[in-house]
C-alpha cells in the first residue's frame, strides 16, 4: 500500500513538471519582440539579446535566465520558477553562464521591458 502511494506521488510530481514545461512555451513575448543568440557558446557562456521586429536591440530591457526548481521529499514545496538576472556583455547583449549550455538545447529567458513592467517570457534554441 505504501509503495502505491509513493508511486502515485511521483506520478503527480512528474505530471506537474510536464505541465509547467508546457506552460513555459505558452507565455511568450509580445508581438514584435524576440530573443536571439548573439554568438556561439564559448567557455560555458553565451550572449543573447532582445530585439524588436526590425532587428534593433532593446537596450533598456532587463533580461533573465529562467530555471525550474524541483524538490523531492514528503513535504517538499511545489516547483517554482527561478530567475537569474543577466549582466551586459558590453556589446548590446547579455551573458548567460551555465555548465548546461549545449547546442540544440532550449534556453528559457524572460525580459522586463520597463523597470516596473510585467515579466515577458520566451526562449531560443541554442546553436
CA–CA distance, 33 with 54 (Å, rounded to integer) = 9
pLDDT the model gives residue 25 = 42
Cell of 103: 547546442
**pTM (2 d.p.):** 0.72
Q: What is the mean pLDDT of residues 95-103?
A: 92
As a whole number of angstroms, the distance between CA 86 and CA 96 comes to: 6
Q: Does domain 2-125 have CATH number 2.40.10?
A: no
Domain spans of the chain, in order of start: 2-125
The two beta strands, 87-88 and 94-97, are: antiparallel
Q: What is the pLDDT of residues 49-94, one digit of tens each?
A: 999 999 999 888 999 999 988 888 888 888 899 999 999 988 889 9
Q: Of 100, 110, 121, 104, whose CA–CA distance to 25 is shortest?
A: 121
Amino acid at each position: 500500500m505504501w509503495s502505491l502511494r509513493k508511486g502515485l506521488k511521483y506520478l503527480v510530481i512528474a505530471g506537474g513538471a510536464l505541465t509547467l514545461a508546457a506552460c513555459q512555451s505558452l507565455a511568450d513575448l509580445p508581438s514584435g519582440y524576440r530573443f536571439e543568440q548573439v554568438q556561439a557558446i564559448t567557455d560555458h557562456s553565451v550572449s543573447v539579446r532582445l530585439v524588436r521586429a526590425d532587428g534593433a536591440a532593446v537596450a533598456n530591457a532587463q533580461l533573465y535566465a529562467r530555471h525550474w526548481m524541483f524538490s523531492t521529499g514528503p513535504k517538499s514545496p511545489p516547483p517554482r520558477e527561478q530567475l537569474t538576472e543577466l549582466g551586459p556583455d558590453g556589446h548590446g547583449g547579455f551573458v548567460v553562464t551555465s555548465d548546461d549550455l549545449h547546442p540544440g538545447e532550449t534556453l528559457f529567458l524572460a525580459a522586463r521591458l520597463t523597470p516596473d513592467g510585467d515579466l515577458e517570457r520566451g526562449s531560443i534554441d541554442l546553436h
